[in-house]
Structure 1
């Protein structure tokens, strides 16, 4: 057996004669072509966001002519962001299968097609299809793929690269409001959006610059033992010997019999854990991918002893039998049970079969639910701190994004011209951009907590909306816009850092997936309510206060979490002190 294992290793094949894949990992360039990736990611996002962030500025007057009210307008925008966020659940497998270059390319194409079609529609349901659904899917593809591309090419300089890419993206809401306002004076709404769609097509060649990492990175093998055929053969032989010993041990050690199942104990579990990884992992494009069939528990075959397949205890209705027998007495015990249970089986065979089918259906349902829970990593919700921060993040994100979508309508509600509204939006975006550059240096120097800084940003935004609800005058609102930009900069930076600060790295992807799914659902349910409130009031004051309630709710939830955590630590310290 050892010789055959060694021979298989030398030939580069496994025991089934199939080629053995080598585990490799790439070394991120941290520069070089990575800076082209940064430029391409920034430009892709810069062009694709041109219409998303200025939809209300372009369509405000036209929507009234087409009898599309504020509630329907909110549905259009929130459905787009809902689809964009809910796609996070499938983006991982899609990016592994197709790569970030293809995903970004097709996302850019979808956004451009969506914008071109949107320029020709004037009905609510057509906006939902061509703008919200198609455009939302495209935005989700682009955002996920460009983020993955930067994280793939950079490791040590990832923060710098991400900052530069975000800076390029942040220029979009600074430049485009002015440009689109000028277009709006020269063309009608259809022509303006069609020209914007043509400009957005620059994102397509930018996405093609996102080369796969294999073209520009060096690779190294994982582990030195794989390069040594003798060591690889020894490992295979050791695995085979342990498997043989495990089967032989089942013939002499006590086996617990209950309902026809055998509990092999911890040795079998540890064996599976230690030896399932080489079969569950393979490499595709430099990424280590886990085989979902093993990870999600689809491999549900249970081992049996050498003779346990002769008679099935389930078929004999011995679900109440529970005893421990040595393997040498196993067959004899089964024969005794068979004689005792035969009359009952003859009397109620249909009831036993129905009960067996019912149990199988129940077990299958439970297994499916467990796989779904494992896939989404719902066990994270058992952690009280994560749950409270998760709820607060969902409340805050829903309110803040809806304010960003409604900002142009709020400014237009003051009666300002399009030129003044464009200046207000550009001022907000410019201060936001400057804040993104300056605040990280300050927080890194003083080592401030991400959740605290995020809460500070929310406080800036909440107070800014209160001022926006009660003040007037162009210069005053311009100053309020700058204040809101300051808060938005804080929020944008630290929103992405809260989850990594409380969740282990191996759980971060699952936590982010849960968060994006919750955000998508909240957009779809809560977002249209803000538009409905505006339709049933004279201005946006009630809407601004409603958004502030979400912000205040998030901060209150986080304060309660801190208080509960400190009380729990105080009680634990008191118990330890009393025990000592």
Structure 2
């Protein structure tokens, strides 16, 4: 049952010595619903942008390269602001960020309905809409991570399943609207639907309002915990600039309560070490053959407050001489750029960025490919997209249970799915009959559903929870670079060769490059482990 303890609950619980933990349910299911509703409309608009304006673009003289540029600017703006995720969610709550993002999404969609020139489309859809997506997406993702711990995979699976409803309904809705309205009027109606994101974002309540008392441990469990955890210095909390909690942000999402013996200190120590030490840690992680799961995380704090309001100070320890940080060191600390010294994180993030850019470009160009290569009409394209989305929807719900049954890690499930996506994309370009395309689309939907669930679960297994916003932000920056560099290349290939076949070959090349890099990394780690033994 959902609980709303109120803003003062965290402070009162800490005063009384009550240990708290994430609810793993309760109001968290409302957060899942908010995630789904927001992404139903956002992904639906991005998915059907080319379908809505394909005929209108011909009259305006906008080419395939121009269309690819608009879509990739949208993705680049969205992902390029990822570096600000951590600082932004320290300053504002997830609910505030989500509402601002929803309003920008509405403004971007409304302005796009009035656009008549290439620069206008770039500003309205590429920049304004991209800014809204950049705000609302991390706010929803971080909220789910804050409310769920043990059930996180199932919660994410349900959230992306709800959001997948948009990929089923929106193509048919847009197709119906285009039969009765102009493309501009159709986009105006979609802008009105986008306003539903505002009340959905208001559901993102601070996690401290809903945390529950942690179950009491038995004596045996306490002894086991004491043996397993390293000794840490007992610290007192006072107010300074280095605390890490914001009531409603990812920083307050942890399994249990923040006490003086929290493993957070050991995590902070890990990320303060030298580059060589971090590389050694990364090597040990890959040698284990599993995802490197960092168990330490941030614990509960008093109430909803900004990062600048809290600080830790060790009053019992001797005073250390403080060295003045350089500007570069401050920038590194502010954006958590020390994550880039972890080879495992860099290789994983770069691979995800390449594969994601390739998949999104194929996804957005699919309506144009079907019209020019396969000769399908608007209804056939909408029917294909709805069929694929329906299968995608089912497998988003089943993917967590499939992974549990096969006992594969999140990373391995993702790797298998992107290899399958490359295979089925190639088959779509070989078989041109509508019946074959529908059949292949079903298998493409299966792989896409699995990919959608497990992709956001890879990084939480590589970094501590309090560094997750910055880790995802850096990943978004890598995606932005990939979109800005590779996106126009795909459009240029089409204009030079006059065929989408070479575009799909290029898309599959970069997807398989991700799989190859990861497999080579695993092989090298395995050989090092064997030689060491």
TM range (shorter): 0.7 to 0.9
Q: 1:533, CA displacement in angstroms?
A: 1.4
Structure 1 unaligned runs (5+)?
Answer: 1-20, 221-269, 296-300, 305-362, 574-580
462 and 292 in structure 1: CA distance in 2 versus 1, 3 angstrom threshold: farther
439 and 285 in structure 1: CA distance in 2 versus 1, 3 angstrom threshold: closer
In the alignment, the residues of structure 2 paired with residue 218 and residue 483 of structure 1 have an alpha-carbon distance, to the nearest angstrom, of: 42
Instruction: State the partner residue of 1:207.
Output: 201
Instruction: State the partner residue of 1:285.
Output: 247
Instruction: State the partner residue of 2:6.
Output: none
Q: 1:25, CA displacement in angstroms?
A: 7.8
Match of residue 177, structure 1, among 157, 171, 175: 171
Instruction: State the partner residue of 1:310.
Output: none
Structure 2 residue 435 is the aligned partner of structure 1 residue 475: yes
277 and 400 in structure 1: CA distance in 2 versus 1, 3 angstrom threshold: farther
Structure 2 residue 160 is the aligned partner of structure 1 residue 166: yes
* SS state at 1:121 partner: coil
In the alignment, the residues of structure 2 paired with residue 400 and residue 384 of structure 1 have an alpha-carbon distance, to the nearest angstrom, of: 24
In the alignment, the residues of structure 2 paired with residue 107 and residue 71 of structure 1 have an alpha-carbon distance, to the nearest angstrom, of: 28
Mapping of residues 387-466 of structure 1, within 5 Å? 387-413=346-372, 414-466=374-426
Residue deviations 1:202-237 (CA, integer Å, cap 9, x gap)? 2222222333445545689xxxxxxxxxxxxxxxxx
Q: 1:141, CA displacement in angstroms?
A: 1.4
481 and 84 in structure 1: CA distance in 2 versus 1, 3 angstrom threshold: same
Structure 2 unaligned runs (5+)?
Answer: 1-13, 215-231, 253-300, 313-318
Mapping of residues 490-509 of structure 1, within 5 Å? 490-505=450-465, 507-509=467-469
Q: Is the Cα–Cα contact under 8 Å of residues 456 and 490 in structure 1 kept in the other structure? A: no
In the alignment, the residues of structure 2 paired with residue 48 and residue 209 of structure 1 have an alpha-carbon distance, to the nearest angstrom, of: 17
Residue deviations 1:235-290 (CA, integer Å, cap 9, x gap)? xxxxxxxxxxxxxxxxxxxxxxxxxxxxxxxxxxx99x967876443765374565
In the alignment, the residues of structure 1 paired with residue 148 and residue 399 of structure 2 have an alpha-carbon distance, to the nearest angstrom, of: 22
Q: 1:393, CA displacement in angstroms?
A: 2.0
In the alignment, the residues of structure 2 paired with residue 461 and residue 167 of structure 1 have an alpha-carbon distance, to the nearest angstrom, of: 19
* Residues matched between the structures, number: 439
In the alignment, the residues of structure 2 paired with residue 566 and residue 283 of structure 1 have an alpha-carbon distance, to the nearest angstrom, of: 38
In the alignment, the residues of structure 1 paired with residue 245 and residue 347 of structure 2 have an alpha-carbon distance, to the nearest angstrom, of: 37
In the alignment, the residues of structure 2 paired with residue 68 and residue 175 of structure 1 have an alpha-carbon distance, to the nearest angstrom, of: 28
In the alignment, the residues of structure 1 paired with residue 135 and residue 463 of structure 2 have an alpha-carbon distance, to the nearest angstrom, of: 25
Q: 1:411, CA displacement in angstroms?
A: 1.8
In the alignment, the residues of structure 2 paired with residue 184 and residue 82 of structure 1 have an alpha-carbon distance, to the nearest angstrom, of: 28
TM-score (norm 2): 0.75
Q: Is the Cα–Cα contact under 8 Å of residues 76 and 128 in structure 1 kept in the other structure? A: yes
283 and 447 in structure 1: CA distance in 2 versus 1, 3 angstrom threshold: closer
281 and 95 in structure 1: CA distance in 2 versus 1, 3 angstrom threshold: closer
Q: 1:50, CA displacement in angstroms?
A: 2.6
TM-score (norm 1): 0.69
Match of residue 371, structure 1, among 311, 330, 333: 330
In the alignment, the residues of structure 2 paired with residue 395 and residue 168 of structure 1 have an alpha-carbon distance, to the nearest angstrom, of: 26
* SS state at 2:179 partner: helix
217 and 503 in structure 1: CA distance in 2 versus 1, 3 angstrom threshold: closer
Instruction: State the partner residue of 1:38.
Output: 32
457 and 282 in structure 1: CA distance in 2 versus 1, 3 angstrom threshold: closer
Q: Is the Cα–Cα contact under 8 Å of residues 24 and 283 in structure 1 kept in the other structure? A: no
Q: 1:32, CA displacement in angstroms?
A: 3.6
Q: 1:105, CA displacement in angstroms?
A: 1.4
* SS state at 1:536 partner: helix
In the alignment, the residues of structure 2 paired with residue 293 and residue 524 of structure 1 have an alpha-carbon distance, to the nearest angstrom, of: 38
564 and 212 in structure 1: CA distance in 2 versus 1, 3 angstrom threshold: closer
In the alignment, the residues of structure 2 paired with residue 31 and residue 274 of structure 1 have an alpha-carbon distance, to the nearest angstrom, of: 32
Mapping of residues 184-263 of structure 1, within 5 Å? 184-213=178-207, 215-217=209-211
Q: 1:542, CA displacement in angstroms?
A: 0.6
Instruction: State the partner residue of 1:55.
Output: 49
Structure 2 residue 76 is the aligned partner of structure 1 residue 70: no
294 and 52 in structure 1: CA distance in 2 versus 1, 3 angstrom threshold: same
Q: Is the Cα–Cα contact under 8 Å of residues 37 and 200 in structure 2 kept in the other structure? A: yes
Residue deviations 1:308-351 (CA, integer Å, cap 9, x gap)? xxxxxxxxxxxxxxxxxxxxxxxxxxxxxxxxxxxxxxxxxxxx
Q: 1:38, CA displacement in angstroms?
A: 2.6
| Structure with larger RCO (C-alpha < 8 A, sep 6+) | 2
Q: Is the Cα–Cα contact under 8 Å of residues 40 and 163 in structure 2 kept in the other structure? A: yes
In the alignment, the residues of structure 2 paired with residue 43 and residue 70 of structure 1 have an alpha-carbon distance, to the nearest angstrom, of: 31
The structure that has the greater radius of gyration is: 1
283 and 398 in structure 1: CA distance in 2 versus 1, 3 angstrom threshold: closer
442 and 215 in structure 1: CA distance in 2 versus 1, 3 angstrom threshold: closer
Report the more deviating stretch, 32-41 or 162-171: 32-41
In the alignment, the residues of structure 2 paired with residue 30 and residue 502 of structure 1 have an alpha-carbon distance, to the nearest angstrom, of: 21
552 and 29 in structure 1: CA distance in 2 versus 1, 3 angstrom threshold: closer
Q: 1:474, CA displacement in angstroms?
A: 0.8
Instruction: State the partner residue of 2:508.
Output: 548
Residue deviations 1:62-92 (CA, integer Å, cap 9, x gap)? 1121111111111111111111112222233
430 and 132 in structure 1: CA distance in 2 versus 1, 3 angstrom threshold: same
